Amino acid sequence: MKLKKERILKIIFRKKLMTPEEYETKYKGKYIDQCGFDSFMTYLSYVAEFSSKGRFLTTNEKIYRDREKLEKKFGIEIITMEDI
């Protein structure tokens, strides 16, 4: 996962969607779910792959709570099963 994480972040930084400093201070470790999984990295993988198309389905309440801010910044809609 570490290589995948580094590759995802490299794409995000190259697209100038976020700086390394911004990641470290605002996002790193903020959206860990109840199982210890980092939902933000999964979200960023969608951002890196799809740009502004598609939807990101999550069960993580933390990332869903911040969805408006994240959608505005990164362009991928965040939804839950209730939204479908």
Q: Kindly report the pTM of this predicted structure.
A: 0.90
> Is 10 in a helix, a strand, or coil?
helix
pLDDT higher at 52 or 69: 69
pLDDT, tens digit (0-9, with 9 covering 90-100), for 16-27: 999 999 999 999
> How far apart are the C-alpha atoms of 17 and 14, rounded to whole Å?
8
Cβ-contact 72, 79 below 8 angstroms: no
pLDDT, tens only, 16-58: 999 999 999 999 999 999 999 999 999 999 998 876 678 999 9
**Residue 7 confidence (pLDDT) above 60:** yes
